[in-house]
Amino acid sequence: MFCAVNTIVHRMTRVYGKLNYICLTEFNKNKLLEINQIKPEKVFVKPNFVLNLDVPLCDRKRENQIVFVGGRLDKLKGIDFLMEAWLEFERRYGDSIPELHIYGSGPMQEWCSKFIAEHDCTKIVMKGFVANTEVRKIIAKSKALVLPTQWYEGFPMTIVEAYSVGTPVVGTAMGNVGSLIENGVTGYTFILNNVESLIKSILKIDSIDNLEVKNMFERMYSQNINYQRLIEIYSKVVGRNI
């Protein structure tokens, strides 16, 4: 109740229009601009970053695997859709498809194991929990990271971690996941809960240049670039208020 009253008061006094905002993605920015009081020149985009760790950049020696890592095994993360889609993928293309390696735990962990057993899925492997320090090493040797999210998400750091080791991302074409993937350059997006669309994206993943993914990370998500962007934003805001 208090939050609702607080929001009404702020809108009546037009407080939102007097502030400056930093958003993580263009998707967030566009959503924020739906509040009519806010002007586009007061909204900036500065994504999160990850440190460029000394993880070898694999190019043509990647293992024939796609990984789901860094997400809970639940419906909001789309794990059930992903496994059902992979079963159909295997039925169509047989042993030639990449293995789907699933890392993590959550409320649907038992369901996932039962699904594999009941359908005799030879191309889906449950790998269990993995420490954060190992995530990038796993992603670095994989063909792609897959994120079948069912909601807008915040800012999935695994996407930037994948880019830092030159690994493309296949993700749902919605919210921040869709906003962070450049089709044909850093990966491919697919239509929400559309098996055909997901399979087509996976089949195209070998066309992505791993080195270009890594270069894009350096241009947009590295520590130094992030700092420069933050200073630029502060300078514009301060200059405008003088």
| Within-domain flag for 59 | no
Strands 65-68 and 99-103: parallel
Q: Can you name the residues that pair with 21 across neighbouring β-strands?
A: 43
Looking at the structure, tell me whether residues 92 and 195 fall in a common domain.
Answer: yes
| Within-domain flag for 197 | yes
Looking at the structure, tell me whether residues 8 and 112 fall in a common domain.
Answer: no
Task: Report the distance separating Cα 196 and Cα 173, nearest Å.
Answer: 14
pLDDT, one tens digit per residue, over 89-132 is 999 999 999 999 999 999 999 999 999 999 999 999 999 988 88
| Within-domain flag for 58 | no
Task: Report the distance separating Cα 231 and Cα 13, nearest Å.
Answer: 30
Mean pLDDT, rounded, of the chain: 90
Q: What share of the chain is helix, strand, coil (3-state, %, to 5)?
A: 50, 15, 35
- Residue 230's domain comprises 2-49+222-241
pTM value is 0.90
Looking at the structure, tell me whether residues 96 and 195 fall in a common domain.
Answer: yes
Least-confidence region, from 5-19, 57-71, 144-158 = 5-19
Task: Report the distance separating Cα 41 and Cα 19, nearest Å.
Answer: 11
Q: Is the pLDDT of residue 149 over 50?
A: yes
pLDDT confidence bin for 75, thresholds 50/70/90? very high
Terminal CA-CA length for the chain? 38
